[in-house]
Chain A
């Protein structure tokens, strides 16, 4: 039962470098999400994808781009990393975008930007 798989698990970048975080789910879910988790702030939604071919901004989208490559995969890209983007990033998926669908989370990517 893989569920939601994120790669890599850890990454260190220098300011200005670019990076793509990968996420794949094998539950045939339609909707996928990217969150960042910072100490004392809980999880905040960066971008989400209601279904294959659509993406929308969440609460904190600045500095990020996303691609819904197919139904399984949803990637998050940092074009020019900044220290403020040091965080733990979680990908999640749900059956649909309906509010009563619980989200299933991956193990996270711990990203440090120097």
Chain B
């Protein structure tokens, strides 16, 4: 079975600070990895995804994530956050089992960016 851990449940940053949100997964095989963002009162939106190739992936709004296979990690980063980045961030994993698109989500990290 696959699982995802997001270690930071609540993060508070000042504008222009750098961001790194941790995500570790548990699965023995090949994985697809995703970061979704949920702005207050809105639906989940895909931020970025990793399937294969370059382990450093770039997403929308200046976000990027690095897949480190040896550490089973897929941390999300942004060099300089903005107030509008206040949202909840979910890491998700999809193990390649042939059993279908069954995402396992982490418990989420609530990010608050202060002016």
Q: Residues of A contacting B36 with CB < 8 Å?
A: 105
What 1/0 mask marks residues of chain B from 71 to 115 whose CB sits below 8 Å from any chain A CB?
A: 000000000000000000010001111001111011110000000
A94 at the A/B interface (Cβ < 8 Å)?
yes
- Residue numbers of A with Cβ under 8 A of B are 4, 31, 33, 40-45, 48, 50, 56, 58, 90, 92, 94, 96-108
Q: How many A-B residue pairs have CB under 8 A?
A: 61
Q: Do the beta carbons of B96 and A99 come within 8 Å of each other?
A: yes
- Give 14 new A-B contacts, CB below 8 A, not counting A97-B100, A103-B46, A103-B101: A4-B43, A40-B9, A42-B90, A42-B107, A48-B100, A50-B100, A58-B102, A99-B101, A100-B32, A101-B101, A102-B34, A102-B46, A105-B44, A108-B43
With A31-B101, A48-B102, A50-B100 given, is the CB distance from A99 to B107 under 8 Å? no
Q: Residues of A contacting B107 with CB < 8 Å?
A: 40-42
Q: Do the beta carbons of B43 and A97 come within 8 Å of each other?
A: no
What 1/0 mask marks residues of chain B from 47 to 83 whose CB sits below 8 Å from any chain A CB?
A: 0010100000000000000000000000000000000
Q: Do the beta carbons of B43 and A99 come within 8 Å of each other?
A: no
With A31-B101, A100-B32, A103-B101 given, is the CB distance from A90 to B106 under 8 Å? no
With A100-B51, A102-B46, A102-B49 given, is the CB distance from A42 to B106 under 8 Å? yes
Distance, CA A36 to CA B34, complexed state (A): 18
> In B9-36, which residues have CB < 8 Å from any A CB?
9, 32, 34, 36
* Residues of B in contact with A, size category: 20 to 34
Q: Residues of A contacting B51 with CB < 8 Å?
A: 100
Distance, CA A39 to CA B9, complexed state (A): 11
Q: Residues of A contacting B45 with CB < 8 Å?
A: 105
Q: Do the beta carbons of A43 and B100 come within 8 Å of each other?
A: no
Distance, CA A31 to CA B100, complexed state (A): 10
Q: Residues of A contacting B94 with CB < 8 Å?
A: 99-100
Q: Do the beta carbons of A99 and B32 come within 8 Å of each other?
A: yes
